[in-house]
Amino acid sequence: MINFNKKEFYSIDDLLNIMQMLRSEDGCPWDRVQSHESIKKDFVEEVYEAIEAIDLGDIDLLREELGDVLLQIVFHCQIEAEANRFSFDDVCDEICKKLIIRHPHVFGDVSVSDADEVLENWDNIKKETKGQESYSDTLKSVAKSLPALMRAQKIGNRAMRAGMDFKCCEDTISCVKSELSELEDAIKIGNLESIEEELGDLIFSCVNTARHLKIDAEQALVKSTDKFIRRFEETEKNIRLKGRDIKSLSIDEIDIYWREAKKKLIKKIQE
pLDDT tens for each residue of 244-262: 999 999 999 999 999 999 9
pLDDT tens per residue across span 178-194: 999 999 999 999 999 99
Positive or negative, the CA dihedral 191, 192, 198, 202 is positive
The structural domain count of the chain equals 2
pLDDT one-digit tens code per residue, 33-47: 999 999 999 999 999
Of 86, 107, 135, the domain-final residue: 86
CATH code where residue 72 lies: 1.10.287.1080
**Domain encompassing residue 18:** 12-86
Average pLDDT over residues 37-60: 95
Q: Is residue 59 part of a domain?
A: yes
Assess whether pLDDT exceeds 80 at residue 271: no
77 domain-assigned: yes
Mean pLDDT of the chain: 93
What tens digit of pLDDT does each residue of 149-178 get?
999 999 999 999 889 999 999 999 999 999
Q: Does 171 fall in a domain?
A: no
Radius of gyration of the chain (CA): 25
Q: Report pLDDT for 268.
A: 80
Among 70, 86, 102, identify where a domain stops.
86
> What residue type is assigned to position 106 of the chain?
V
Among 83, 122, 118, 115, which residue's Cα sits nearest to residue 101? 122
Do the domain assignments include residue 110? no
Query: What confidence tens digit (pLDDT) does each residue in 107-116 have?
Result: 998 888 898 8
